[in-house]
């Protein structure tokens, strides 16, 4: 099973700690890193690229010192190493215009408003990670993810792939 990175970016340490706590059950299967700024997140990503560890999912706040979360997500969309990553905006301050920009230009996959429910956050992350592995893993590798992610969706994807092969 491939090792993937989940990156959480927020300038408030308490928020990061809460997100990390909500995702604790996934630590056995994913490398989960926290960054308190976009600059720090870029360093984490550079290390991950050097270690050949793909970014599977990024949870990012919008309003931060320096570069905004939406600008960072747009940047990630255009980088080969991160273009396939699932992008989740976790914020309480993005207005409609910023959210539309994120959807249209950053290929935003999900928007979560602060404050959030921990169980709901974990389920959204599992759903997004399931989409990521379905899109990026081979049939044999997908089977290993069934015990961790959404088993039904993975089974459907495997079935669909097999049916597609039989049509050839």
pTM here is: 0.89
Helices (H) and strands (E) in the chain, counts: 7, 5
User: pLDDT digits over 134-147, tens only?
Assistant: 999 998 899 999 99
pLDDT per residue as tens digits for the range 38-49: 999 999 999 999
Whether the per-residue pLDDT at 105 is higher than 80: the answer is no
Strand partners, 4: 30
The b/e string for 73-84 (b: 16+ C-beta within 10 A; e otherwise) is bbebbeeeebee
Span 59-92, pLDDT tens digits: 999 888 888 888 899 899 899 999 999 999 887 7
Q: Does 3.90.1170.50 match the CATH number of domain 4-117?
A: no
Decide: 65 and 37 in contact? Cβ < 8 Å. Answer: yes
Bridge partners (DSSP) listed for residue 31: 5
**Residue 99 — pLDDT band, cuts 50, 70, 90?**
low
Distance CA 20, CA 122 (A): 10
Give 57: exposed, middle or buried? Use CB within 10 Å, 0-12, 13-18, 19+.
buried
Angle at 111 between CA 91 and CA 47, to 5 degrees: 75
**Between β-strands 55-60 and 110-113, what pairing exists: parallel, antiparallel or unpaired?**
unpaired
Cα–Cα distance measured from residue 15 to residue 151, given in angstroms and rounded to the nearest whole number:
30
Q: Which residues contact 162 (CB under 8 A, 6 or more apart)?
A: 139
Give the residue extent of every domain in the chain.
4-117
């Amino acid at each position: 099973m491939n090792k993937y990175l989940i990156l959480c970016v927020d300038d408030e340490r308490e928020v990061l700690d809460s997100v990390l706590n909500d995702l604790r059950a996934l630590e056995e299967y994913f490398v989960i890193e926290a960054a308190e700024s976009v600059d720090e997140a870029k360093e984490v990503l550079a290390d991950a690229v050097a270690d050949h560890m793909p970014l599977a999912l990024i949870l990012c706040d919008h309003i931060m010192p320096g570069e905004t979360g939406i600008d960072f997500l747009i940047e990630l969309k255009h980088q080969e190493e991160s273009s396939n990553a699932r992008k989740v905006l976790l914020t309480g301050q993005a207005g409609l215009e910023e959210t539309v920009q994120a959807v249209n230009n950053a290929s935003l996959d999900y928007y979560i408003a602060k404050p959030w429910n921990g169980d709901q956050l974990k389920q959204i992350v599992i759903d997004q990670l399931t989409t990521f592995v379905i899109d990026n893993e081979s049939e044999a590798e997908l089977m290993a993810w069934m015990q961790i992610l959404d088993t039904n969706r993975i089974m459907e994807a495997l079935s669909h792939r097999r049916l597609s092969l039989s049509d050839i």
